[in-house]
Amino acid sequence: MRNVVKVELGARSYEVRIGTGLIGNAGAEIRPLLRRPRVAVVTDATVGALHLAELRAGLGDVEMVSLALPPGEGTKCWAEFQRVVEWLLEQKVERKDIVVAFGGGVIGDLVGFAAAVLRRGVRFVQIPTSLLAQVDSSVGGKTGINSPAGKNLIGAFHQPSLVLADIDVLGTLTARDFLAGYGEVVKYGLLGDPLFFEWLEAEGPRLAAGDRATRLKAVTRSVEMKAEIVARDETEEGDRALLNLGHTFCHALEAATGYGERLLHGEGVAIGCALAFELSQRLGLCSQEAPSRVRAHLREMGMKVDLADIEGDLPDAEGLIALMAQDKKVLDGKLRFILARGIGEAFVTSDVPREVLKGLLEEALAARR
Ligand code: NAD
């Protein structure tokens, strides 16, 4: 079982191979890119314990050195970034070598950024192991780390040379991490493909239960959509911002909850999508049916949908709006939102009256009490 999606970026084009058995065949998959039979692999401790032995075996006669970092969003920081870069230098990774990011979005973002700056840029391969990383973060070349001032504020565009998305590896994700990744899958349907959303409404439960054919299709369709948007707008001058549906809210909520276990990124995306559709409806852009359908599907999948689903304190509406102002999409000091005229019809706008936004957040916060 295998699908291949090409990310068309001229000389920086690459393949995303999606299927089963890719890790066990990693040596053959990666070897054409190698100048010498050696790779440096960076993973996190959880993924390393579960899957590094399989990767080592799959690499065959390609020598592998590896480093395992602590799991979790806190790892996307200066200290771990410095550790990775210095480790790669200690391993004498050369300009023509390949660095492998083997893990979820945290490892992909951090290691991609390290590869971007190491010796002014070395090539890297993404082997994404979380659903979120397979459908989103491993494709498109956004790399980086977090700052205390906000999420993903330090980074670079650096495209991978190859992405190997082995869907078998998803079987060891916790249910919570799997569903967090599903938040990004739903996002693709909501932003541009109503039939995909309809398919997810029907097949989502089977997908979550582990059906491989359904997983292959969901990952492939998501990657196709991302690849197509990235090819049109690599550095987010326009359409790529659509991929940020739900993210203006999400980034503020992640900052408010300390980038940790209280709220996973994909959970924030799901809540953010529900809020973006609610905001669209309040602005008269779409019918009430659209936000209701979004919420119903997220609920059916057992996902977080409301601010009330986040434990612990949150800032008030003004505090959340202040956090949104740190978003990278802010242009000329104005917040930009991805809103929708219906399911699958998202667009970018700066035209959101502050009182409507504040009213929405105040109501959502009040429902927590
Ligand atoms: P993550 O990397 O922290 O992985 C989530 C958890 O799952 C971790 O504890 C990890 O150890 C574990 N895990 C990963 N694969 C596993 C497996 N196969 N089996 C068992 N456990 C496994 O987080 P994530 O949700 O993958 O990614 C979130 C990050 O991705 C955020 O930092 C976000 O900003 C970033 N992101 C980046 C982009 C981009 O375009 N670069 C897009 C979306 C999200």
Residue-wise pLDDT for 194-214, tens only, equals 999 999 999 999 999 999 999
Q: Kindly report the number of other CB atoms within 10 A of residue 115's CB atom.
A: 30
pLDDT of the residue at 330? 66
Q: Tokens 């999508």 label which residue?
A: 273
CA separation for the pair 208, 183 (Å, rounded) = 12
* Poorest-pLDDT segment among 276-290, 316-330, 346-360: 316-330
pLDDT surpassing 90 at residue 225: yes
pLDDT band at 239 (very low <50, low <70, confident <90, very high): confident
- The CATH fold assigned to 2-172 is Rossmann fold (3.40.50)
pLDDT of the residue at 1? 86
229 lines ligand 1 (CB under 6 A): no
End-to-end distance of the chain based on CA atoms, in angstroms? Answer: 48
Top mutation candidate among 106, 145, 170, 225 for ligand 1, by most atoms within 8 Å of CB: 106
Interhelix angle 194-209/289-300, rounded to 10 degrees, is 10
pLDDT of the residue at 329? 64
Report the pLDDT averaged over residues 293-315: 96
Burial of 212 (0-12, 13-18, 19+ CB in 10 A): middle
Which whole-number Å values give the CA distances from 8 to 16, 181, 188, 221, 345, in the listed order?
11, 24, 19, 16, 24
Beta bridge partners of 7: 14
Beta bridge partners of 67: 42
Q: Which residues contact 26 (CB under 8 A, 6 or more apart)?
A: 55, 58, 59, 62, 127, 164
Please indicate whether residue 92 is annotated as part of the active site.
Answer: no
CA separation for the pair 44, 55 (Å, rounded) = 14
For the chain, the average pLDDT equals 95
Shortest CA distance to 223 belongs to which of 139, 125, 143? 139
Among residues 51, 76, 123, 142, the one annotated as catalytic is 142
Which whole-number Å values give the CA distances from 132 to 51, 153, 305, 322, 330, in the listed order?
17, 20, 17, 27, 25
pLDDT surpassing 80 at residue 326: no
Q: Return the structure tokens found at 227.
A: 């690849």
- The answer to whether 113 touches 158, Cβ cutoff 8 Å, is yes
Residue intervals of the chain classified under CATH 3.40.50.1970 are 2-172
Secondary structure letter of residue 3 according to DSSP: E
CA 107 to centroid of ligand 1, rounded, Å: 7
Top mutation candidate among 73, 75, 109, 139 for ligand 1, by most atoms within 8 Å of CB: 109
Extract long-range pairs of 52-56: CB within 8 Å, 24+ residues apart: 52/102, 54/23, 54/24, 55/23, 55/26, 55/102, 55/127
CA 189 to centroid of ligand 1, rounded, Å: 20
- The CATH fold assigned to 175-366 is Dehydroquinate synthase-like, alpha domain (1.20.1090)
Which whole-number Å values give the CA distances from 70 to 135, 260, 346, in the listed order?
23, 13, 36
CA separation for the pair 183, 214 (Å, rounded) = 16
pLDDT band at 331 (very low <50, low <70, confident <90, very high): low
pLDDT of the residue at 328? 64
Model's pTM, two decimal places? 0.95
Please indicate whether residue 120 is annotated as part of the active site.
Answer: yes
Residue intervals of the chain classified under CATH 1.20.1090.10 are 175-366
Beta strands of the chain (E only): which ranges?
2-7, 14-19, 38-44, 63-69, 98-103, 123-128, 142-147, 150-157, 162-166, 337-340, 346-349
- The answer to whether 222 touches 136, Cβ cutoff 8 Å, is yes
Angle among Cα 161, 164, 165 to the nearest 5 degrees reads: 140
